[in-house]
Every structure is written in C-alpha cells, then in structure tokens.
Structure 1
Amino acid sequence: MEKKRLSNKTFTPIGRVLESILDQCRSDSAGGILHLRHVWENAVGPPISDNAKPFAVKGSLLLVHVSSSAWLHQLQFLKTELLDKLNLRLKNQRVEDIKFKIGPL
C-alpha cells in the first residue's frame, strides 16, 4: 500500500500560526501588552526596565516579571510612583495595581 505524500504547500508552519495568534492577542495598539511594554520602558527608565517587564494585563491589574527577589522587593517600595508614571503616559486605559513576580524577561 502506497502512502501519498501531501505537498508542503498545504501546511502552514506552526511558528507562523503562533506568531499570528500572538500578534492578535498582544497587539501594539492602545491596550495591548506590547503597547504597555513600550510605555513601561519610557516611564520607568533603563535600570528598572532592564530588570522588570510587563508580562500580562487583566482588567486594571498589571503583572510584571522581575529578574530577582531583590528587584521584586525594591519595586514594591516604588509601586505607587511607578503607577503614577505609567498612568501619566497611558491614554486609553488605567492601571490600578501592579503585581510583581519573578519570571522570564
């Protein structure tokens, strides 16, 4: 029994599919996580943005991944200041709280 081989033209590489899904979910338009990451970098500056990156947003809660427990602890003290700086630069949304978690940047 011979197996027919399907042409590669009928398949879409999984990387392209995932990239398309991520583009839809994490758009750079106002409200998307990529937009928040860009605003975050401008709002907090290089020392913080090198060690802490927005990872997800749920409603008005922003989850930020940090590089170490030392940064997590330090950013807890700066949370109010960070919220003020971030919200000054956001146009269509407002972040009410930030949760810091050690995770991949």
Structure 2
Amino acid sequence: MEKKRLPNKTFTPIGQVLESLIDQFRSDNHGGILHLVHVWKKVVGPPISDNATPFAVKGSLLLVHVSSSAWLHQLQFLKVELLEKLNQGLKNERIEEIKFKIGPM
C-alpha cells in the first residue's frame, strides 16, 4: 500500500530548526544565547570575538568559552569593560557576571 504525502509548500531549513533548539536549551534568558552572540561580536569586535564566544546564560551569568589560557587571563582584566559594552548593546537583558572557561569555539 502506497502512503500519500500531504503537500508541504513551506519547508523550514534544518539550520533554523537547530538554531532554535540550541537557543532554547542553552539559555534561560529571554533574549537567548544567539542574540547574545550577535551582540557580543558587534560590541567586542575582533580579535576578542575570534577567541572568545558566549556559550551559555543562566540568569544574569554569562559563560564565555575562550580559545586559550592566555586569552582567559587577558579577558579577566577586561571583564568590567566587556560587561559595560555588552549591557549597552543589550536592550532588555542585563548581564551582571561573566565567567571565562577554555572550551570549544
């Protein structure tokens, strides 16, 4: 017996579906981690954004993965400035703490 498929003219790209799922599970922040990643790249610019990327949000804590211990150490010195820039770029959310960890970029 042959199954008939209903015509579906509106396909959703798999990248969009995965992005939405990742955003839901990696953040309990209403803006989502993907929004933070975009704002992060814009406000910190290269080379910081090339070596450090937001990974997760829990409340007002942002976990940022960095590429090396040297970058981790350097970003500790810039933490206050990064927090100010990030919060200026965010509209509704507020990040109060950043933790840096060596991890996958």
TM-score interval w.r.t. the shorter chain? Answer: 0.7 to 0.9
Structure 1 distance, partners of 2:98, 2:32, is 16
Is the 8 Å Cα contact of residues 39 and 89 (structure 1) preserved in structure 2?
yes
Please give the residue correspondences for 1:55-74 in structure 2 after superposition, counting only pairs within 5 Å. 55-74=55-74
Amino acid paired to 1:58: K
Question: Which has the greater radius of gyration?
Answer: 1
The 5 A counterparts of 1:2-13 are: none
CA shift, 1:24, in A, is: 3.8
Q: Distance in 2 between matches of 1:31 and 1:48?
A: 22
Tell me what 2:98 maps to. 98
**1:25–1:32 contact (8 Å) kept in structure 2:** no
State percent identity of aligned pairs. 70
Name the counterpart of 1:26. Answer: 23
CA RMSD of aligned residues (A): 2.2
**Unpaired segments ≥5 residues, structure 1:** 1-6, 10-15
Note the residue ranges of structure 2 that are not aligned, 5 or more in a row: 6-13, 25-29
In 2, are the aligned partners of 1:79 and 1:98 still within 8 Å (CA)? Answer: yes
SS in 2 for 1:23: helix
| Equivalent residue letter for 1:33 | I
TM-score, normalising length: structure 2:
0.76
Q: Which amino acid aligns with 1:93?
A: E
Name the counterpart of 2:10. none
Question: Which whole-Å CA distance do the structure 1 matches of 2:18 and 2:67 have between them?
Answer: 27
Q: After the TM superposition, which segments of 4 or more aligned residues of structure 1 sit over 4 Å from their partners?
A: none
Cα deviations by residue, 1:48-87 (Å, 9 ceiling, x for unpaired): 0000000000000000000000000000000000000000
TM-score, scaled to structure 1: 0.76
Equivalent position amino acid for 2:80 in 1: T
